[in-house]
């Protein structure tokens, strides 16, 4: 029975080799993924700082009583235009945050910045969330709510005017903010594509 159990777990000797190779393959794939992550994080993973936007306690009613778990939405960014968000769920708060950070690092996007603010006005929607983001003069600061503020600060946006006009659910607000930032266009790329100066892009 012991041999049969071991064979079930590891397979036949050849199966063990294959299992080992598969695991090794996963390790190699993991290293490749890690390599890509390191390429993004060369600028980097050590520079990515996380901000916990919200932690929610979820209760599941079972026969023996209530079983509690936690979900956390986390935003990471390097302050240079790279920012991402992630959701983590676990039975412990620290595990939920750690999972959220890992998920956020996989979803990092590049946001175009212009003089520490956003280049133009943009709206973003996600579910019931609806946000308005517009550039601000130097020294204005981040005029935004808690969930939106975490995204802007992580992205390195220092001056911005933003307003949430829809749902106050932090998940919807964060995703709507990312939807607005994802639609932003880089003024330098627009100037090069049109063959005009950067000043003319803004002044017409």
pLDDT in tens, 155-181: 999 999 999 998 889 999 999 999 999
Mind giving me the DSSP string for 142-166? EE--HHHHHHHHHHT--SEEEEE-S
> If you count them, how many residues does the chain have?
204
CA distance 192 to 171: 36
Other beta carbons within 10 Å of 155: 26
- In order of 48, 67, 185, 189, the CA distances from 138 in angstroms are 24, 49, 20, 23
pTM here is: 0.71
Amino acid 101: pLDDT:
94
Tell me: pLDDT of 47 over 90: no
Amino acid 44: pLDDT:
55
CA distance 108 to 74: 12
Helix 170-182 with 146-155: angle, nearest 10 deg: 40
Helical (H) or strand (E) element with 82: strand 82-90
Tell me: pLDDT of 26 over 50: no
């Amino acid at each position: 029975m012991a041999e049969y159990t071991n064979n079930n777990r590891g397979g036949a000797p050849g199966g063990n080799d294959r299992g080992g190779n598969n695991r090794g393959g996963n390790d190699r794939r993991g290293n490749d993924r890690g390599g890509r992550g390191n390429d993004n994080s060369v600028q980097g993973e050590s520079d990515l700082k996380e901000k916990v936007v919200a932690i929610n306690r979820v209760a599941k009613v079972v026969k023996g009583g209530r079983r509690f778990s936690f979900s956390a939405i986390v935003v990471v960014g390097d302050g240079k235009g790279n920012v991402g968000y992630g959701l983590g769920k676990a039975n412990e708060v620290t595990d939920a945050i750690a999972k959220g950070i890992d998920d956020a690092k996989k979803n990092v996007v590049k946001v175009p910045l212009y003089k520490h603010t956003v280049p133009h006005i943009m709206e973003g929607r996600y579910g019931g969330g609806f946000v308005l983001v517009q550039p601000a003069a130097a020294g204005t600061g981040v005029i935004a709510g808690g969930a939106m503020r975490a995204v802007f600060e992580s992205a390195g946006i220092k001056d911005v005017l933003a307003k949430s006009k829809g749902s106050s659910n932090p998940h919807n607000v964060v995703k709507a903010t990312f939807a607005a930032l994802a639609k932003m266009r880089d003024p330098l790329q627009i100037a090069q594509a049109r063959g005009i100066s950067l000043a003319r892009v803004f002044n017409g």
